[in-house]
Chains A and B, each alone.
Chain A
Amino acid sequence: MTTVSAAVTVSASGLTLRYGATRALDDVSLRLGRGVTGLLGPNGAGKTTLLRVLATSVPAASGAFTVLGHDPASAHGRQEVRRALGYLPQTPGFHPDFTPFEFVDYVAILKELTDRAARHREVRRVLDEVGLAEVRGKRIKKLSGGMRQRVALAAALVGDPGFLVLDEPTVGLDPEQRMRFRELIAQAGEGRTVLLSTHQTEDVAMLCHRVLVMAGGRVRFDGTPAELAARAAGRVWRSTARDPGAKAGWRTGTGGYRNVGDPPEGADLLEPTLEDGYLLTLDGDRGDRGDRGDRGDHGDRAEATA
């Protein structure tokens, strides 16, 4: 077992939430420290629900959590959690007639930064930080999608929150914008706790010191990106044709096939990636839900997070 020497900033246990018959969160427990933690999972895995619960947007039906030592179960505690929170929702809304400065200033006021001069300094700081200093006086409706996303990140960063919740911030960005965003998130992760929900395994590989994989409302994996990739060690191989026994396989640019699953005897094994580990984890989860097999890992994780 690896011990990460970091203070616990966010701690949750037994978080459960149903939407009708669907268990959006099913007994989720986790502990986060400083740095960027990635949250991977397919659509409907419960990622956004978990983020919304941790952001105090929706209350969990059962379970508890604390952020920076504050328990949101009480009104006072919830207020303290919100004071420590920076939240970038999945599809952030904007006030198109506002300038980036006005929008972030508005959010800063809603975060109770009341000293006008200090607040304006802070707004300028975060706009500089996300690279929007040049366009801070331009109407948001005239900005590109990437710039708008940076406005949303600036709004999340304003007030220097200790806990940053980012829900798929790189969706819809072109590769250059995504790279720029990764730099910003990495920078934001210095000295604070960042929980980053994403579909992009590259984001996790490049940014996160830790990754959680969710499926079916549960945490299926909790470890480092290297550990997730290591799950696929010895289970990725190359072949000249798609291996019918592979769980997944695709033709690569070199003309050969990359297969993931249980390799045949003497297969030409490849170095696994984080994505391979993620696919196998999800595949294990499907098997788990189907024949309830492959319980060992989950048991491991449950023990680790208890």
Chain B
Amino acid sequence: MTATALTQQAAPAVARSGPRNSWAAVLALAAFEARRLLLRLPVLLAFALHVTWIVWRTLQPRDDYPVLQDADRATQGGPLLVGLAVLLCANRAVLRSTRRDTERHFAVLTLGVWRRTAAHALSVVPLALLTAVAVTAQFTWEALKSGAVGRGSVAELLTGPLAVLLFGAVGVLLARLVTSAVAAPLLVVVFLLLFVGGAFPSSGQETGAVWLDPVVTTAGAHPYPSDLLGRPAGWHALYLAGLALTAALLAVLVSGGRRSRAVQAAFAGALTLAVLGGVVQTGGVPARTVEARVRASVAPEKEQRCVRRGQVRYCAFSEWLPRVAGWARVADRVQALAGGPARGRDLLVRQRVDVRGGLLDDAALAPSTRPGQVTVGTSWGGNRVPEFSTAVAGVLVAGDEKAASVVCDGRMVTVMWLSLAWQSDPESALRGVRLDDSLTGSAIVVSRTEPLLMTAGQTKVVRALFDRPFYGVAARVKAHWAELTTPGVTTVRAAELLGVRASVGADRCAR
């Protein structure tokens, strides 16, 4: 037979496609996978729900004007849903070549498995960026609302997008550890069960293990100055970033990247970040913050700035100074209705908080015994407005908050009329300021300090006054101011002085 011999000469490779670069290919693959991730139905649905939630929440009429150091935290819940969808879809994308039996083919292509894993991990980044856009829009919307005060934290705003990054990286890692397509949905179900079932340590805690959760949205009982929050948001962001990087780099390592020293070093760095952030954030409220909380609670005058408007001096934590105009509108209206010396009396409106027991402590503030001092809280808008006007009226009538809190006679009629009569819908304001939202019978009147009590008779008289011409009642208040504000004046007498016939019967406070 004949045989064939070939001349020994190396032939050049055909190179139509130009120079090649593995890391550029990783980025190109990440962009490819990101486009596909963005078009997955669960991700689209999650984003649609997130945006719908943001719009619904922002447009909903709310009692309180935004406090931005709380509004930033409120952006963290929605991204969890996006994160779970990303976890599912990223996991599925990694498993695609195994499920569709293309791995045998792809294994001989230039871009190795670990680089493909890195691309999958990077493909989650655009989704985290989109989440960041949604979060920024939500926060900006809140910040632009009238009456918004305070300042947001970048670290708090980063938490949602970082959680999406973390969930995506976990999806990629899971696919590299378990090739079953059922594992990720199971993990999502377990997560939801734990979350809905309250098994996460986040419920009702401010410090400690709660910070190991991806997001910690625990809201304080009231808004507080940023300096008093003591939320380790920066460390938490570092912890989340470290965890996301650790999961992504672990996925790269287990898929063959362990020979790359750069990957090993990056993994060690990421793990260090996660551990550092995790340890520091769970260390509790820093001593400096605890001291600041005590100072702000016990001696707020040392922490506040004051401005004078007419007869009233307003002292508030600096973040709330933009609210002075709102407070002044209320205080001026109430004081304008008062008679006698109260009309020209100097008042001090002092913003007070008591955060010594932690952010979640909802104990009422002790009423001030200082004559002419009115306490204002950190919330504003809705029912907080008649609460404040009641506090101003109480001090004008009784002299100080402590004395106002124990008023149990006809003076209460004057207090409530001063507080509510000038408002556009006094009855609605009365309902709003009463704890049980009632318009009849006795009720507790909500206050930032000690609550006041209205008897059924006083309620009847006050409502009857609302039906009378405003200026007529106002003239009677001024004319009979001295008697109306005398301790021990009965409700019946107050009604008579104000020109109202009301059958009030035995009218006793039930303290």
Docked pose: A114 CA to B115 CA in angstroms: 14
Q: B1-42 CB contact bits vs A (8 Å, 1 = yes)?
A: 111111111111111111011101101110010000000000
B10 contact from A69, A79, A91, A105, Cβ within 8 A: A69
Q: Is B288 an interface residue (CB 8 A)?
A: no
Q: Is B510 an interface residue (CB 8 A)?
A: no
Q: Which of B98-106, B354-362, B394-402 contacts A (4 or more CB under 8 A)?
A: B98-106
Docked pose: A161 CA to B15 CA in angstroms: 8
Q: In B101-121, which residues have CB < 8 Å from any A CB? A: 101-111, 116
Rounded to whole Å, the gap between the CB of B345 and the closest CB of chain A is 75
Number of interface residues of A (CB under 8 A): 66
**Chain A residue nearest to B103 in the complex (CB):** A93
Q: A56-B108, A68-B10 are in contact. Are A113 and B96 (CB under 8 A)?
A: no
Would you call B108 and A57 a contact (CB within 8 A)? yes
Q: A95-134 CB contact bits vs B (8 Å, 1 = yes)?
A: 1100000000111011111111011001000000000000
Would you call A33 and B32 a contact (CB within 8 A)? no
Would you call A83 and B5 a contact (CB within 8 A)? no
Residues of chain A lying within 8 A (CB to CB) of residue B97: 93, 95
Rounded to whole Å, the gap between the CB of A208 and the closest CB of chain B is 12
Q: Which of A220-228, A266-274, A285-293 contacts B (4 or more CB under 8 A)?
A: A220-228
Would you call B104 and A89 a contact (CB within 8 A)? yes
Q: Is A172 an interface residue (CB 8 A)?
A: no
B111 contact from A109, A193, A227, A301, Cβ within 8 A: A109
Docked pose: A151 CA to B109 CA in angstroms: 16
Residues of chain B lying within 8 A (CB to CB) of residue A122: 16-17
Q: A272-306 CB contact bits vs B (8 Å, 1 = yes)?
A: 00000000000000000000000001001101100
Q: Is A21 an interface residue (CB 8 A)?
A: no
Would you call A68 and B12 a contact (CB within 8 A)? yes
Would you call B110 and A83 a contact (CB within 8 A)? yes
Would you call B110 and A111 a contact (CB within 8 A)? yes
Docked pose: A110 CA to B105 CA in angstroms: 11
Q: Which of A4-12, A175-183, A239-247, A253-261 contacts B (4 or more CB under 8 A)?
A: A4-12
Docked pose: A230 CA to B3 CA in angstroms: 13
Rounded to whole Å, the gap between the CB of A37 and the closest CB of chain B is 10
Q: In A159-177, which residues have CB < 8 Å from any B CB? A: 159-162
Q: Is A250 an interface residue (CB 8 A)?
A: no
Residues of chain A lying within 8 A (CB to CB) of residue B5: 1-4, 304
Residues of chain A lying within 8 A (CB to CB) of residue B11: 7-9, 33-34, 68-69, 162, 193
**Chain B residue nearest to A87 in the complex (CB):** B108
Would you call B13 and A110 a contact (CB within 8 A)? no
A112 contact from B4, B102, B105, B110, Cβ within 8 A: B110
**Chain B residue nearest to A69 in the complex (CB):** B10
Docked pose: A116 CA to B8 CA in angstroms: 38
Docked pose: A68 CA to B14 CA in angstroms: 10
Rounded to whole Å, the gap between the CB of B206 and the closest CB of chain A is 46
Docked pose: A66 CA to B9 CA in angstroms: 12
Would you call B110 and A82 a contact (CB within 8 A)? yes
Would you call B96 and A95 a contact (CB within 8 A)? yes
Docked pose: A69 CA to B105 CA in angstroms: 23
Would you call A162 and B14 a contact (CB within 8 A)? yes
Rounded to whole Å, the gap between the CB of A219 and the closest CB of chain B is 12
Residues of chain A lying within 8 A (CB to CB) of residue B21: 112, 114
Docked pose: A2 CA to B24 CA in angstroms: 47
Docked pose: A154 CA to B97 CA in angstroms: 18
Scoring B6, B16, B27, B111 by chain A CB atoms within 10 A of each residue's CB, the highest score goes to B6
Q: State the 4 A-B residue pairs at the shortest beta-carbon distance, nearest first.
A: A304-B3, A93-B101, A112-B20, A93-B102
24 contacts between A and B (CB under 8 A): A2-B2, A2-B5, A3-B4, A7-B9, A32-B6, A57-B107, A66-B10, A82-B109, A84-B14, A89-B104, A93-B97, A93-B101, A93-B102, A94-B100, A95-B102, A96-B100, A106-B29, A110-B109, A113-B17, A113-B25, A114-B25, A162-B12, A223-B4, A304-B5
**A residues adjacent to B (C-beta < 8 A):** 1-9, 31-34, 55-57, 66, 68-69, 79, 82-85, 87, 89, 91-96, 105-107, 109-116, 118-119, 122, 155, 159-162, 191-193, 210, 222-224, 227, 230-231, 297, 300-301, 303-304
Other than the given A3-B7, A109-B111, A110-B110, 10 more pairs (CB < 8 A) read A2-B4, A4-B5, A33-B6, A83-B13, A84-B13, A91-B101, A162-B11, A162-B13, A227-B4, A300-B3
